[in-house]
Amino acid sequence: MAGGKAHPVSPLAPEAMPELPAIAGIEVGAIEAGVRYKGRTDLMMMRFAIGTSVAGVFTTSKCASAPVDWCRSILDKGNARALVVNSGNANAFTGKAGAAAAKTVAVAAAKLVGCKADAVFMASTGVIGEVLPAEKVTAALPRLATTLKPERWDEAARAIMTTDTFPKAAVRKTEIDGKPVTIVGIAKGSGMIAPDMATMLSFVATDATIPADVLQALLAKATDKSFNSITVDGDTSTSDTLLAFATGKGVTHKPVTKLTDVHFRAFRAAFEDLLIELAQFVAKDGEGAQKFVTITVTGAQSPKSARKIALSIANSPLVKTAIAGADANWGRIVMAVGKAGEKADRDKITIRMGGKLVAEKGAVHPRHDEAAATEHFKGRDIQIEVDVGIGKGEATVWTCDLTHGYIDINADYRS
C-alpha cells in the first residue's frame, strides 16, 4: 500500500489464503512497531529451534540494502535462530548509519532468543534512502517475542506487505523416504519486480532435516524457475531476499546428503512448485494488474536465450499496455522478440495467442482470427507462445498488464 493507503485487492488474488499449519521448531508473530505505517502490523519475527539450517538468495542490485549485506555476511555459517522483518522502510542506500541500524536490530533479537547475532537474519522493505529507525524496532521486539506462536503464519504474511493488495502464502505436504514433511512459504511483492531476483521478500520453512549446503543448492535451482521467471516492471529491487529454513524437527527420515538423492525427489518437486506458486502470486499482484500473463518461448538457442526473449516481451510497455487494452497486437510481440538481442529466425517465427495460431513463417497466418485473439485478451489469464525457429531452448515467464493503476500507486508512494 503506497504511503500506507489501501488499494483495491487485485482481481487476480486467490479467493482465500490457505490454512497454514505450524512447522515444528518455528514460532512466528507480528506486531505494530510504527516504523512507517499507522494502525497496521509492520514487524514480523520468527524464532527457530537450535539446529535449524538456512539458505538464501538475494538481489543482484549493486545498491543492495543493509539487511541484504548483513544476511550475506552470515549465510555461510548455515544456521539460524531468528528472523526479523519490517515493512515501511527498506534501510537501503543508507550508508554506515543503515548498517549500524541493522546490526542493532540483530543484536537486540539475539539477546531475546539467546543466541549470537550472526544467527539472526533480517529483511526490510519499503522506502529507499531512509535509515531504519532501529529504536522503534528494538522497542517492539520484546513484546513481539512474548507473543510468538507456531500458527501465526497468516499474521506474518500480512506484516511484510507494502503495496501488496493481498497476503501471499502457500503450503505443501510431501515426503522424504516415505516420511511426511511439510513446507510453508510466505512472500511479499507487487512493484519494482524483475528477475535477479524480483522485488520481493519470501520466507520458506520446513520441518525436514536438510543440510545447509543441500538446502542452498535446492533454493538456487528452484529460484531460477520461480522468482527469477517473473517480472512486473523490469526494475530490480535493492532488498530482494529469499530465505529457506529447515528445522529438522519433524519425523525422522533417511538423511539427505545431496540434491540428487532419489528419496529427495518428491520434496524437490514440492519445494519448487511452492516457490512457483508464490512467484505467480507476486505477478498477479503487480501494481495495478488486471491480467495475469504467461509467456512461453521455444525454439531458442538455449534456455537462457529463451528467457531473455520472453522477458523482452514481458517487460515491453507496448506489449503490456496492449494487453491492458485487450488489443491483440501481435506486431508488438514481434518487436519485442527482435529487440531482445538473441538469435531468432525472422522467417521461422511462430506466434500463438490463447493457443491459436496468429503468425508463422515470418508473416501473419492467413486464417488468423483477430476477433478470437481480441476476445482472449479481454480475459484475466493471457497466454502468449512464441517459437523463434533456432534451436531447442525453452523458457516460461510470468507477468501482468500495465494499467493506469501502476501510475496511481507509484506516483503517491511516499505521500
Residues sharing a CB contact under 8 Å with residue 85, sequence separation 6 or more, in sequence order: 43, 44, 45, 122, 123, 124, 125, 156, 159, 160, 201, 203
* Separation CA 82–CA 125 (nearest Å): 18
Binding site annotation covers 199?
yes
Whether residue 188 contacts residue 207, with contact meaning beta carbons closer than 8 Å, is answered with: no
Q: Is 162 annotated as a binding residue?
A: yes
Which helix (H) or strand (E) is 222 found in, with range?
helix 212-225
Best CA proximity match to 155, nearest among 336, 269, 318, 32: 32
Residue labelled with grid coordinates 539467546: 114
The runs of H, that is alpha helices, within 228-369 are 265-284, 303-314, 317-324, 330-339
199: annotated active-site residue: yes
Which residues partner with 170 through β-bridges?
Answer: 185
Q: Count of H helices and E strands in the chain?
A: 11, 15
Please say whether the beta carbons of 273 and 172 come within 8 A: yes
Is 65 labelled a binding residue?
A: no
Residue 415 among known ligand-binding residues? yes
CA-to-CA separations, 331 to 181, 231, 233, 313, in angstroms, rounded:
48, 21, 20, 11
List the catalytic residue out of 199, 209, 231, 247.
Answer: 199
The three-class DSSP label of residue 403 is coil
**CA 318-324-328 angle, 5° bins:** 70
- Whether residue 15 is annotated as binding a ligand: the answer is no
Binding-site residue numbers are: 162, 188, 199, 287, 410, 415
Catalytically active residues are 199
Binding-site residue numbers for substrate are: 162, 188, 199, 287, 410, 415
